[in-house]
Amino acid sequence: MQPPGEEMLVERACRGDPAAFEELVLAYQSLAFRTAFVIAGDAADAEEAAQDGFVKAHRALRRFRRGQPFRPWLLAIVANEARNRRRSRGRRAALALRAAAEPGGAGNDPEEAALAAERRERILTAVERLRDDDRDVLACRYLLELSEDETAAALGIARGTVKSRTHRALSRLEEELR
């Protein structure tokens, strides 16, 4: 979600106001960290990637085109940092996400809840088995709920490629689940 007055904050940050940039960091640190996490697959790498991403974004503010949305621009920088870390590790990182425990609240059918939890686990495991580019596009679109434009920016690909890759990744995921 865009923080209130984002355009003004970005404008002030571009003019060198440190407080404005700090507010942008606070507004986007969670999204930046999560994006880096789904790509790098490791919390420590994600923390470094997000921090480096913010520092590099600050350096690049002079090149930021005024009036453009800030969020996809930032995500592109952070995701690039996360991909670099994944590459430098030289192996495919596990997604390392766990389905949160479902509280057995009143009114919940325990059998239904168990089945739902099992289904989530199956989907996650299947996503994890996909190749990196398929997994990344699904993680951005469905797990982080990024828009097509934001996914395109984060993955450094065209919007049309996001569509075709998502379609392909969903087909492969379906096969994995059979």
Partner 1 sequence: MTDLELGLRDVAAHLDFPPTPALLGGVVARLDRRRHRRRGLALAVAIGVAALAVAFAVPASRASLLRFFHVRGATVSVIDGLPPLTSHRSLGQPIPLDTAAFRLLLPSGRRPESVHAADGGYWLRYPGLLLFEFQSGGGPEVLKKATLGKTKVEYVQVRGEPGIWIGGRHALYLPGGPPVAAGRALIWQHGPLTLRLEAAVGLERALAIAQSVR
Binding site residues, partner 1, CB under 8 A: 18, 21-22, 25-26, 29-30, 32-34, 37, 43, 46-47, 50-51, 54-55, 58, 97-100, 102, 116-117, 119-120, 123-124, 127, 138, 142-145, 170, 173-174, 177
Least Cβ distance, residue 111 to partner 1 (angstroms): 17
* Residue 156, Ramachandran bin (φ over 0: left; ψ between -120 and 50: alpha; else beta): left
**Distance of closest approach, residue 13 Cβ to partner 1, in angstroms:** 11
CB 4, min distance to partner 1, A: 18
The burial class, CB within 10 Å (0-12 / 13-18 / 19+), for 163 is middle
Give the shortest CB-87-to-partner 1 separation in angstroms.
Answer: 21
Indicate the residue among 12 and 120 with the shorter CB distance to partner 1: 120
Quick one: 69 or 142, whose CB is closer to partner 1? 142
**Greatest alpha-carbon span in the chain:** 57
For residue 63, what is the DSSP state? G
Residue closer to partner 1, measured from CB, 51 or 147? 51
Indicate left, alpha or beta for 88 from its phi (over 0: left) and psi (-120 to 50: alpha): alpha
Nearer Cβ to partner 1 (42/67) = 42
CB proximity list for 177: less than 8 A, separation 6 or greater: 122, 123, 126
